[in-house]
Structure 1
Amino acid sequence: MKGMNLVKTEQEPLEAFPYKPPTAEILEKYPHIFKLKETLPPRFFKVLFDKVVALIFLIISAPILLLLKLAFLIEGWFIPQNAGPMFFYYNGVSAGKIIPKYKIRLIKTEYIEPEGARRHDWIAYSAEWTPDSRTYVGQFVKKFYLDELPQFWSVLKGDMSIVGPRPLSVLHYERDRAQGNVTRFLLRGGLLGLGHINKGTSEMGNPVYEYEYVDQYLKRSSFGLLRLDLWVIWKGALVIVKGGGH
């Protein structure tokens, strides 16, 4: 049985990489973006907002994380195969650089490929999309995006931003670049993005939203960019409240 679970882990779910190559319309509308060769510099109000919000959310989420840890322990006591560490990370890419992408574990440890986990490869945890691989706590955590809470630490450190293109695993970043996309090279990865707030719809993975955000990043003042970020956060909050995680 355990061997069968490992085979499942090695099969990449289709949902893991919904991102598409830039269309002809994108190439025609945003040619200036594809000419950029360096990661875009940080914007003052965006960075200040990121750090303040990340610190506040880390403080607010501390009791939530403690309750989740207790729930993890209780579930592990009653169902030993669901026991294991609450936190893990795999290597992701933000602004073209490899960073640790912290998450809360959703799946049973028997579905985690040990060697890949030691290398912090995303593929070791790819059974996340298989419903029967998730723990009971993991199902609840995923539904309300609570598995993303540890990434506020990444925002506070400066590895990520609150708003930006979702950071991808190394495997998927390389595939994204091979498709011709550049947004995740130019900007820090975000907890929310213009494309990500369409999660659960046919627009999820449409690259036009990420290019529109880069275009606005270039055109807007520092304060104007913050206003756009606040709108994205509001839209993302509506998705979370509705339990849009899957």
Structure 2
Amino acid sequence: MIRILDVFFAFTGLIIFSPLLILLFLIGIFDSGSPLFYQQRVGKDKVFFTLVKFRTMRKDTVHVATHLAAESSVTPFGRFLRRTKLDELPQLWNVLKGDMSLVGPRPCLESQFELIEARNKRNVFSVRPGITGLAQVNDIDMSTPELLAETDAKMIESFSVKQYFYLIFLTLTGKGAGDRIRK
């Protein structure tokens, strides 16, 4: 049932938001010269996939977890995208392809060994990663790997269609601050 909802909402979202996606893409060209950001992430069953987002940091920024990136690497337009969470919109393509779900644990980088180990212990990789989830709406990010893995496992354990809609609602109404960047 969740996969059907994911496909429906991702497809509908891509169509409805296509003018906004095009506008953000064009603004991104002037902001960074390369509006889309592609990164290898760890997905369901620890299979790697390429995540796509709008670029919020300079092109020369090292590929590290957001909490390890310097605030100075975020572009002015990137700050706006992060604050409004619009940088996440291209991930609807990942959802449509089946790499991700709208709701699930945020996909980690292949270099986040501590988080991968903690998630492995809790069987978090048994589900598709998501654009949003319980950890995100509670301001828990990848800087606290054990807490993040525990929260992901808790979400998976009690997951339901009701929770799916509830977490989407919380995200759309602005709950959660997103990934923190060091000052």
Bin of the TM-score, shorter chain as denominator length:
0.7 to 0.9
Q: Which residue of 2 aligns with 1:87?
A: 36
2:58 maps to 1:108: yes
1:8-23 equivalence runs, <5 A: none
The separation in 1 between residues aligned to 2:121 and 2:52, in whole angstroms, is 24
Query: Structure 2: which amino acid aligns with 1:177?
Result: I
Q: Which residue of 1 aligns with 2:84?
A: 144
Question: Rg bigger for which structure?
Answer: 1
Q: Which residue of 2 aligns with 1:48?
A: 4
Report Cα offsets for 1:88-144 as digits up to 9, x if no partner. Answer: 2111011121010111111122x335xxxxxxxx33x86984222222211111111
- Greater relative CO, 1 or 2 (CA 8 Å, sep 6+): 1
With the length of structure 2 as denominator, give the TM-score of the two structures: 0.82
Contact 1:162 1:190 in 2 (8 A): yes
Q: CA RMSD in A?
A: 2.5
1:191-230 equivalence runs, <5 A: 191-199=131-139, 206=147, 207-217=149-159, 225-230=160-165
Residue of 224, 227, 231 corresponding to 2:166: 231
The separation in 2 between residues aligned to 1:72 and 1:215, in whole angstroms, is 39
CA shift in 2, pair 1:137/1:154, >3 Å: same
Query: Structure 1: which amino acid aligns with 2:73?
Result: S
The residue matched to 2:94 in structure 1 has which SS?
A: helix
Whichever structure has more helix as a proportion of its residues is 1
CA shift in 2, pair 1:128/1:134, >3 Å: farther
CA shift in 2, pair 1:200/1:167, >3 Å: closer
User: Any gaps of 5 or more consecutive residues in structure 2?
Assistant: none
With the length of structure 1 as denominator, give the TM-score of the two structures: 0.63
Q: Percent identity?
A: 27
What is the number of equivalent residue pairs in this alignment?
Answer: 173
The separation in 2 between residues aligned to 1:127 and 1:211, in whole angstroms, is 21
Report Cα offsets for 1:211-246 as digits up to 9, x if no partner. Answer: 2222124xxxxxxx2122011111122226x8x345
Query: Structure 2: which amino acid aligns with 1:214?
Result: I
2:120 maps to 1:170: no
The separation in 2 between residues aligned to 1:61 and 1:159, in whole angstroms, is 20
The residue matched to 1:168 in structure 2 has which SS?
A: coil
CA shift in 2, pair 1:87/1:73, >3 Å: closer
Give the superposition deviation at 1:165.
0.8
Query: Structure 1: which amino acid aligns with 2:3?
Result: V
The separation in 2 between residues aligned to 1:197 and 1:181, in whole angstroms, is 23
The separation in 2 between residues aligned to 1:46 and 1:92, in whole angstroms, is 21
The residue matched to 1:167 in structure 2 has which SS?
A: coil
CA shift in 2, pair 1:128/1:137, >3 Å: farther
The residue matched to 2:9 in structure 1 has which SS?
A: helix
CA shift in 2, pair 1:168/1:228, >3 Å: same
The separation in 2 between residues aligned to 1:102 and 1:155, in whole angstroms, is 11
